[in-house]
Structure 1
Amino acid sequence: MGTNLGGGLLGPVFALAGWTGCVLLLIAFRRLRAGFRGDVHVRAFALGEDASEPLPARLANRNYMNLLELPVLFYVACLMAMMIGRGTPAMVGLAWLYVALRMAHSLVHVTYNHVMHRFAVFAVSNGVLVLMWVLLGLQVFGRAGA
Structure 2
Amino acid sequence: MHTQILAPAAVLIIWSLIMLIWMAAVRLPALAHANIPIGKRRGGRGQDLEGVLAPEVNWKAHNYAHLMEQPTLFYACVLILALVGYSQAVLIAAWLYAALRIAHSLWQALVNTVPFRFALFLLSSLALLFMAINALISTV
Normalised TM-score (structure 2): 0.88
Structure 2 unaligned segments of length 5 or more: list them: none
Count of residues in correspondence between the two structures: 135
Aligned partner of 1:123 in structure 2 is: 122
Aligned partner of 1:77 in structure 2 is: 77
RCO higher in structure (CA 8 A, sep ≥6): 2
Amino-acid identity (%): 31
- 8 Å Cα contact 1:39-1:54 kept in structure 2: no
**What is the distance in 2 between the residues matched to 1:35 and 1:113?**
21
SS of the aligned residue for 1:69 comes to: coil
**What is the distance in 2 between the residues matched to 1:138 and 1:40?**
55
Q: For 1:106-145, what aligned pairs fall within 5 Å after superposition?
A: 106-141=105-140
Q: Which of the two has greater helix per residue?
A: 2
Question: 1:4-29 deviations in whole A, cap 9, x for unaligned?
Answer: x3250121010000000011001100
- 8 Å Cα contact 2:101-2:121 kept in structure 1: yes
- For residue 34 of structure 2, the aligned residue among 32, 39, 46 is 39
- For residue 46 of structure 2, the aligned residue among 45, 48, 55 is 48
Q: CA deviation at 1:96?
A: 0.3
Q: CA deviation at 1:135?
A: 1.4
**What is the distance in 1 between the residues matched to 2:106 and 2:88?**
27
